[in-house]
Amino acid sequence: MSATEEGQDGGESSHRAEAFLEILGRVQPGDAEAELSSCGIGPTAEVAEQVLRSGVCYSRPKSAVRFFIWAGRSVKHTGYARNLLVDILGKAGMFQPMWDAVRSMLQDGGGHITVATFASIFSSYCAGGNLKEAVKAFDVMERYGVKPDAAALNSLLSAMCRGREAGRAQAAHDMFERVKGSVAPDGDTFGILLEAWEKEGNAQRAVSTFGEMVLRVGWSASYMPAYDALLSTLLGGDQFGEALKFLQVMRSKGCLPGLKFFARAIDLVVRKRDYANALAIWQMMVSDAGLVPNLPMYNAMIDLYSNTYNSILEGLIKQRKVREAEAFLAEMSKNEQLPSATNCAAVISMFSKEFNPPAAIDVWRCIVEHHITPADDSARELIVGFAEVEKYADEMFDMRIELPQSTIDNMKRTCDKAGKRHTYDHIARRLKRRVAGFLCIHLSNQESSKSCMRQQGYRNDGSGSVLGDGDQWIFAFCFVLFVFMDGLNCSIHEQDNGFHG
């Protein structure tokens, strides 16, 4: 059959299934067979499977039975279709018809009754809380030609442990103890039991079950779910030390847990601020287990080590280590680590008091760029720095420094916004008395300029500077001061525009 013919056949089957489903969803179960017969469309084995696995049949199990009977008069049902009917009836709690369907399969040769058939029966009973009937179903498997094996046992135990009711883990364990002599368990068997103990938070039983697992099935990297469950149970039972011991043993055997445990462990050590174990667990996860951490795990580790940086910075601030703090902030920036909002405010205060305006402004720019919040304290500390401006301005003016009109205008605006108009008024009065600054450098006669500069103690050392040693420092000091003023003006502008960190 060509691809085109297959496509056409598939489309026709789909249309047939839709037509049957429309009837089943519309009419009462008692009228379904008559309506299906009058629709003029015949079923196929494939169409029967499509219809039976639909939501319509699961929501209307009696109509599903009518369809199954009607279609069975025209086609031979597949084993899949028969097992679908068993599942539909079991999920609907129609257990007597369910067993009738199973017996019908047995009468037809029994070839379609498999472990999957009983897995469906176990699931249906356990979903309704009827664990005893599920166990009875396991006990009669051989009557229907199915030998109970590890796969069947695992299906039963998994179904028993799936609910949230207390005592399910114990019931599953009791069943395991009863049949483990005749049905050899495998790694999945113990994984199911360990996950059940994890769900109930029973670390003691988990350790006991794990011990039996090692004795019976040994070690294998494929038993990862079991390792995950044991270690996670210990973490949940506040037995972190024990979990680490088991983890080291697993590592020595080349058997490691999965991301489930590592994610939980990373979260725990980050909350405990356990830097050493955080790094050790992270390296084991990435290097030994070859796992790829998820985004929350990355963020947790970044937060942990960011707090380490901030602890060091906090110590430098408390000890008033200004130069060291400035250098350490530069190192943090290189390593893409951000200072905390509290440290930002404290270090701005320290830089302002130690008269390091550029460093204070750098911190503020970092706050703005990276949206470090809350920023209110940092903004206040930056503005409080104005209190020192008046003191140092007096010293500068006593040294006869001239300021550009643009700087004076900018200072006025900034002081007004900061509520420091009295600072500006004080500086403005001093400026009016000290306008003579460096007027000598503007003399039109070059020789006169040089003579004037020599008289004032200035020199040209070939570097382009015509300032004396002391005056170079004063000029730089003045420049830094007004960079500070300009930076603070920008900061206040950010606040005026509604920026809050």
Residue 413, pLDDT > 80, answer no
Alpha-carbon gap, residue 93 to 128, rounded angstroms:
8
Report the percentage of the chain scoring pLDDT > 70: 75
The residue written with tokens 């069943």 in the block is 175
Q: How far is CA 104 from CA 30, 133, 137, 440, in A?
A: 22, 20, 16, 116
- CB distance 373 to 341 below 8 Å: yes
Encode pLDDT of 116-166 as tens digits: 999 999 999 999 999 999 999 999 999 999 999 999 999 999 999 998 788
Neighbours of 240 (CB within 10 A): 17
At residue 394 the predicted structure's pLDDT band, cuts being 50, 70 and 90, is low
Q: How far is CA 258 from CA 202, 408, 446, in A?
A: 20, 65, 81
Residue 497, pLDDT > 70, answer no
At residue 402 the predicted structure's pLDDT band, cuts being 50, 70 and 90, is low
According to the model, what pLDDT value does residue 132 have? 95
According to the model, what pLDDT value does residue 355 have? 74
Alpha-carbon gap, residue 125 to 137, rounded angstroms:
9
Closest CA to 48 of 76, 25, 22: 76
At residue 390 the predicted structure's pLDDT band, cuts being 50, 70 and 90, is low
**254 φψ region: left (φ > 0), alpha (ψ -120 to 50), beta (else):** left
Residue 479, pLDDT > 60, answer no
Tokens of 347: 């270090």
Three-state SS letters, 75-126: CCCCHHHHHHHHHHHHHCCCHHHHHHHHHHHHHCCCCCCCHHHHHHHHHHHH
Q: What's the rounded mean pLDDT across residues 111-117?
A: 92
Residue 326, pLDDT > 50, answer yes
Question: In b/e form, how buried is each residue of 463-490, taking b as 16+ CB within 10 angstroms?
Answer: eeebbeeebeebbeebebbbebbbbbbe
According to the model, what pLDDT value does residue 166 have? 82
Residue type, 44: T
Residue type, 457: G
Encode pLDDT of 434-458 as tens digits: 543 433 344 344 444 445 444 444 4
According to the model, what pLDDT value does residue 315 have? 84
More confident residue, 204 or 387: 204
According to the model, what pLDDT value does residue 261 have? 95
CA dihedral 384, 366, 314, 373 (to 10 degrees): 80
Average per-residue pLDDT in the chain? 81
Question: Would you list the domain boundaries of the chain?
Answer: 14-113, 303-438
Please state which architecture CATH assigns to domain 303-438.
Alpha Horseshoe (1.25)
Show Cβ contacts of residue 191 under 8 Å, excluding neighbours closer than 6 positions. Answer: 223, 225, 226, 229
Residue 293, pLDDT > 90, answer no
Write the DSSP symbol of residue 287. Answer: I
Alpha-carbon gap, residue 191 to 384, rounded angstroms:
63
Alpha-carbon gap, residue 412 to 409, rounded angstroms:
5
Instruction: Tell me how far the alpha carbon of residue 327 is from its chain's centroid.
Output: 33
According to the model, what pLDDT value does residue 347 have? 93
Alpha-carbon gap, residue 297 to 290, rounded angstroms:
15
More confident residue, 395 or 106: 106
- CB distance 338 to 372 below 8 Å: yes
At residue 269 the predicted structure's pLDDT band, cuts being 50, 70 and 90, is very high
At residue 310 the predicted structure's pLDDT band, cuts being 50, 70 and 90, is confident
* Of the listed ranges 207-211, 237-241, 434-438, the one predicted with least confidence: 434-438
More confident residue, 113 or 385: 113
Tokens of 359: 């460093």
pTM for the whole structure: 0.63
According to the model, what pLDDT value does residue 110 have? 65
Residue 463, pLDDT > 70, answer no
